[in-house]
Amino acid sequence: MIGQKEANSKFSMEFVIRVSERPTPLNEVAIRYPRQIQALLSNISSYDREAIYIVFLNSRDQVLGTELHTIGTINSCVAYHRELARSVLLKNATSIVLAHNHPSGCLIPSSDDLCLTREIYLMMELIGVELLDHVIVGEKDFYSIAEHHPEVFDSRNPWLREQRREIIKNQRKRRIKNEKKQAKSKR
């Protein structure tokens, strides 16, 4: 027979072991490093087509959830800006991280990857959400665009300000064109 003190100690040890073996819920994990994104989404490295995921974060950088945004072809993927913004706003995220794979296994971003990152960064800035990083996920490694290309994430950069003006101008043109098209179809 064991005493009360020993029983309490045994119970405490068992509780600590069970809690430490239990996987931590995503919403309790703060994302601070690109390696965490790679670990969170490592399964996408095996996809045979490019796929873009969104990781939604709250104000403490804790994961609110992840979402498959789009699946493309073997060497390209299209991001739908409007749908991405909608998802971010519906999740009530204060920041996001984009992640995608390269089926080729090469983790170096293409010029399209950098351009997309810049566009999404500027769009998120307009709605008050921070794009923290865009991570290219490999099976055992990753490539952080924020680490290797910080200029993409700097809105004070005059070149990027000009890019933002261009993006806004093009969005206006598309909106006007769509409105004209809709007006014609109603006639």
Please provide the average confidence, as pLDDT, over all residues in the chain. 82
Q: CA–CA separation, 178 vs 16, rounded Å? A: 60
Q: How much of the chain exceeds pLDDT 70, in percent?
A: 78
Confidence at 132, pLDDT banded by 50, 70, 90? very high
Q: Does position 94 have pLDDT exceeding 90, yes or no?
A: yes
Higher pLDDT, 161 or 56: 56
**pLDDT, position 38:** 85
DSSP state of 89: H
Angle of CA points 130, 131, 135, to nearest 5°: 155
What is the DSSP track for 131-143?
EEEEEEE-SS-EE
Domains of the chain (ranges plus CATH)? Answer: 26-155 (3.40.140.10)
Q: CA–CA separation, 17 vs 11, rounded Å? A: 10
CA distances 92 to 41, 85, 95, 153, Å, are: 21, 11, 9, 21
**pLDDT, position 166:** 72
Confidence at 137, pLDDT banded by 50, 70, 90? very high
Q: Does position 99 have pLDDT exceeding 80, yes or no?
A: yes
pTM beyond 0.85: no
Q: Label each residue of 8-24 as H, E or C.
A: HHHHHHHHHHHHHHCCC
